[in-house]
Amino acid sequence: MSDATSGTIRLRAGDRVASKWSGQSILVERFLGEGANGSVYLARLPDGPSHCALKIGNDVYALQSEINALKSVGGDAPRLLLADDGTCRGVSFPFYVMSFVPGKPLGETTFGADAGALTTFGADLLGQLRELHAAGWAFGDVKPDNVMIGRQGEVRLVDYGGATRFGSSVKQFTELYDRGYWKLGGRRAEAAYDLFAFAVVMLEAAGLGRRVRAIAGTSRRDKAKELVALVDESPLLAAEANVLKRLLRGECGDTEQALGAWAAAAAKPPPRHAPAAGERWPAYWFAGAAAAFAGAVWWMSGNGLS
Amino acid sequence: MKQIIVITDGNSNEGISPITAAAEAYARGVVVNVIGVVDREAAGMRGEREIEAVAKAGGGLHRIVSPTKLAYTMQMMTRHTVVATIQQVVNEELRSIFKNETASLETLPPEKRAEVVRSVDEWTETAPLQVALLIDASASMKHKFDAVREAAYDLMLSMQARAGKSELAVLHFPGNNANAVEIDVGWTCELAKLEKILYKLNVKGTTPTGPAILDALALFGGVGRPSPRRAADAAWGDYVV
């Protein structure tokens, strides 16, 4: 689906991408990661004061679809700075530039024994989803790789390639976080779709990722039941257990309500360690992040197929 | 948007060439995709050249995958085929609008491109879609049926979520008696119906892929109901792979 001169290119530090329509030259600083429809680099625009993120795609259609979503969702999503076609070292490709979200992906990082921090993280992530949902969009591919944690512990969703308007089919998802895969609901974009994925992310953040994958890997029919029962296995999630179960079962389709229930549950915690006010998130949270999971399933993408 | 997805693990050995059958389907507006299922992904596949040729003649895609990747591959193919079909129409439109033979999405300036892709997305979501899964039910495929059932269920799940009307049919081949195919489920949008697929099997040791494609094609209407194979077809076994 791409023209003859385009192709996949791995950019290197110091490379300059010449833009076709706006006539700019973008300086590449380093590779950041692989996204749904292309690779992302840390870069600088000539007139930009600081860093930005450059995403280059190999499918003009899929990338444009992502650009359209990014333009529409607003809120806390990275800001779109430029959408154009570029050339570098003789290879041309579509690309866009967005504001850079510093931080590390949640990846498989767990929160150790810090239940309070886990609660705060959950509330922040729900807060991100609430904004998006209020605007009528589902994120679609909620998973640890797409959740960034900044230096101060701030939580941001990244990679809006899967963002889908409520009512349309979710284009891009990852099995483990897809309620359809667990037979706990359909794939139409709605708040409850993301809230299910949020609950699975919380199980992983509480250190139950291996258990979730073990259950997913079996061919038993009652996988869904086992997943829901898993919530009770983490003492870290004891306070919010009931909220999480409801989200997994699809019993709450309102993110504002979910956030309210989350806060209420956290407000009356069972006796356990509570973090001091203003406590910084420990450094080990950031360690060992970004283990790549099962690749996202592209229900909307030309990638990988000839 | 009409598609046939053939799921097989080997060579056809009976009836009209599947390449000819796929070309016939494509000529009638039905794209033929082919998935070869192998036990281990790295392992080569005997029928790979046939698979490639059938997909090419059918205007579709082909992939060789392990059973665990089946659901993912089926979804990608279905989506990709819908998008590709729409894009083809869009590119033709662009060529006529700009009176330029090389006009395409790639040559449009960013703002125009954004608009066109928005329409393509809308169309992709709402266009009526029919997918016929055509499953090779020869003996060697038997232990892959669980994966095939899962994948069919998963495809239906995604099709159900679309705003446009989406229907799936499931057929396997060879069928009972002289039939090339057995219809497991006719056009449906209900998940529950997919639980009963691939049970009434008749293992005959033949793989009439070509006749099965023609019978699947008949499901789309316009060419009548699937009929027993004609003797002439059955004798027509010396096609090139």
A168 CB neighbours in chain B (<8 A) are: 125, 161-163
Q: Mention every residue, 6+ apart, whose C-beta is less than 8 A from residue B81.
A: B1, B3, B31, B33, B60, B61
Which residues of chain A have a CB within 8 Å of the CB of B117? 61, 64-65, 68
For residue A165, pLDDT beyond 80: yes
Question: Going from the N-terminus, what domains does chain B have, and what CATH number goes with each?
Answer: 2-233 (3.40.50.410)
Instruction: Determine the 3-state secondary structure of B218 from DSSP.
Output: helix
Residue A35 pLDDT: 80
CB A208 within 8 Å of CB A233:
yes
Tell me the pLDDT band of A202, cut-offs 50, 70 and 90: very high
**Range with the lowest mean pLDDT among A62-76, A258-272, B15-29, B214-228?**
B214-228
In whole angstroms, give the CA distance from residue B107 to residue A92: 12
Give the Cα separation of A108 and B223 in Å (integer).
Answer: 54
Q: Chains A and B: how many Cβ contacts under 8 Å?
A: 86
- DSSP 8-class letter at A206: I
Pick from B80, B104, B162: CB nearest A305: B80
CA distance B1 to chain A (A): 16
What does the pLDDT average to over A14-32? 94
- Residue A291 above 80 pLDDT? no
The shortest C-alpha distance from B237 to chain A (Å) reads 30
More confident of the two residues B83 and B32:
B32
Task: Give this complex's ipTM.
Answer: 0.81
| pTM recorded for the entire structure | 0.83
Contact A84, A28 (CB under 8 A): no
In contact, B239 and B52? CB cutoff 8 Å = no
Distance from CA of B179 to the nearest CA of A (A): 33
Task: Note whether B48 contacts A: Cβ–Cβ < 8 A.
Answer: no
User: Which residue has tokens 């016929």?
Assistant: B132
Interval B150-203: pLDDT, tens? 899 999 999 999 999 999 999 999 888 778 899 999 999 998 888 888 887 766
d(CA A122, CA A264): 13
| pLDDT 10s digits, B29-75 | 999 999 999 876 555 677 888 999 999 999 999 999 888 888 888 88
Q: In this structure, what token pair is assigned to residue A38?
A: 């292309």
Q: What average pLDDT does chain B have?
A: 84
